[in-house]
Amino acid sequence: MSSTHIAIRDRATDAGGLYSPAKEKANNRGVYGVRSPLLRRRVRQLIGGPRVKLLLSLCIISFFVLFSSRIGTFKGWNPHASSSASSPRGYTVLINTWKRNSLLTQSVAHYASCSGTDAIHVVWSESDPPSNSLKAYLKKIVLKKSHTASKPNFKFDLNEEDNLKNRFKPIEDLRTDAIFSVDDDVIVPCHTLDFAFTVWQSAPLTMVGFVPRMHWLDQEKNGIVYYKYGGWWSVWWMGSYSMILSKASFFHRKYLELYTYKMPSSIHDYITTERKCEDIAMSLLVANATDAPPIWVKGKIYEIGSSGISRLKGHSNRRNKCLNDFVSLYGTMPLVPTNIKAVDAGHEWFW
């Protein structure tokens, strides 16, 4: 074979008179050498391209990040570590209830099991105070369900009258800035709740939660602007929202003070008389204070009660009226629309 190579090289040199490295490379393939198929060369060129190399690098990095989130720590980083690590006190769960002790029991048991829960307060507005047996039973459940060394505080916040404003009354002896306001029939999984808490920590002056709503300009008549209130399907269709309902949301403790003592008395009177829309009032209050939109957190929540008032006939018209009446009382429309959604990439394949 070596003699064949020499003979070919000699012929190439003799034929042209000059030595060419290209000719030598071609000749060195020997009598059995053939060029690679066209498809193989194209694949090699594609794989060797800078864009493909960048894409492959990103895929490898993403794989390691995702893999580390599945198995635990990766060089000291644990994406599923409790969000309370950066805030020793975590959050206070504020449960609004009304004559549904069985749902209240389920709700207290669940939120006591969440590692970020520092305290659980139950807003009690019934004419009769909770029985001693109920209080003792719920305290026992909190101790049993909690998995943290420091057990959550548990307390009933008793009110002398049945009024919707009770759910936003200031709370004494709070140890956290974060308040998670929730209805007694709404269950948010602990990992989803902890993620929402981390989102709130990045923007602690806004509302962060799971139930978005929207508004849009309806018409202008005689110099007065009228708005429409949009429920979930409007949010889904338009891809925008401007409110987060307080049935499952985080907000700063200072808004309890502002709602009770600084919100216009005319709005308090309206809510007391009409017995509705305290959640819209809270959204307007926060937006008016911050001039910023709320943050919707993507996450599965479970409503364990019966169908809510949102499915009753005429609900949309009543919400429209509340929104426009509040805007009139404020003298402006403080809500700020947005289309931003917070997603926990550690629990989502597509985000």
| Residue ranges in the chain modelled with pLDDT below 50 | 1-26, 28-36, 39, 43, 46-47, 52, 58, 60-87
b/e code 331-349 from CB counts within 10 Å (16+ = b): eebbbeebeeebebeebee
d(CA 109, CA 178): 20
Active-site option among 118, 183, 194, 279: 279
DSSP collapsed to 3 states, 231-244? CHHHHHHHCCECEE
Asked about 185 being catalytic, the answer comes back as no
Q: What is the dihedral of CA 320, 306, 169, 316, to 10 degrees?
A: 0
223 to each of 219, 321, 331, how far by Cα in Å?
Answer: 10, 18, 13
Report CA Rg, the chain. 32
Task: Please give the order of strands across the beta sheet that includes 224-230.
Answer: 224-230, 212-221, 243-244
In the prediction, which pLDDT does 41 show?
54
Q: What fold does the segment set 91-304+313-342 form as a domain? A: Spore Coat Polysaccharide Biosynthesis Protein SpsA; Chain A (3.90.550)
What is the pTM (predicted TM-score) of this model? 0.74
